[in-house]
Amino acid sequence: MTDQLHKYISLLKQKGAVHVKTIDTDTIVVAPWTIMKCRYGCPRYGKNRSCPPFAPAAEETQKILQCYSRAILFSVSSMDSGTPAALECASALTNDGFYKVIAFGTGPCTLCKECSLANCPQPHRVAPSMEACGIDVVATVRAAGLPINIPPKPDEPLNCYGLLLVD
Ligand code: SF4
């Protein structure tokens, strides 16, 4: 599996990914509680397309995951760089015939000063984060054997994780 996806792993590394690993989608942990972290505590909740309640809820995410068998999990060290990297890699995969590919980025969409929600001018540049869709990122990353610093320590680089559902 890794051999076939090597080109895309390299592309993600070129785009700043620190850790990249192909995983089976059945190791992705879906947990409906993640939306509570968004709804109560995040000032971005409901304010852009990549966040709940616009992002798919856990039940829908679970059904979507069942359509795939393999994925690429990757980390970047800045919240801003994960979504562009994921979308560029998704575009490369699509161009190579992986027509089902779906990207999950890092953090909320911050492209516009004021989000226009229903009239997004650049929806092709928006991707939800895993946690916005009910994925337990920490459990998923740990199941993959990759590092994640929870809670983040000031002297350690951030590990912000994105995901591509490939098949
Ligand atoms: S691109 Fe702009 S309008 Fe679209 S989701 Fe992001 S912030 Fe909102």
CA angle 152, 157, 159 (to 5 degrees): 70
Cis ω for the linkage preceding 32 (within 30 of 0): no
Instruction: State mean pLDDT over 125-138.
Output: 97
Binned at pLDDT 50, 70 and 90, residue 156 comes out as confident
How many Cβ atoms sit within 10 Å of the Cβ of residue 155? 5
Dihedral pair phi/psi, residue 129, rounded to 5°: -80, 165
Q: How far is CA 22 from CA 56, 77, 119, 166, in A?
A: 23, 19, 35, 10
Answer yes or no: is the C-beta of 109 below 6 A from any ligand 1 atom: yes
Residues 92 and 96: their CA atoms lie apart, in Å, by 6
Asked if residue 119 has its Cβ within 6 Å of ligand 1, the reply is no
Does residue 71 carry a pLDDT above 60?
A: yes
Ligand 1 neighbour 28 (Cβ under 6 A): no
Nearest CA to ligand 1 atom 4: 120
Q: Is the CB of 87 under 6 A from ligand 1?
A: no
Kindly tell me the sign of the dihedral angle through the C-alpha atoms of 15, 159, 53, 136. Answer: positive
- The model's pLDDT over 20-31, given as tens digits with 9 standing for 90+, comes to 999 999 999 999
What average pLDDT does range 113-118 have in this prediction?
90
CA of 137 to the centre of ligand 1 (A): 23
The answer to whether residue 1 scores a pLDDT higher than 60 is no
19 lines ligand 1 (CB under 6 A): no
What is the residue extent of each domain of the chain? 6-165
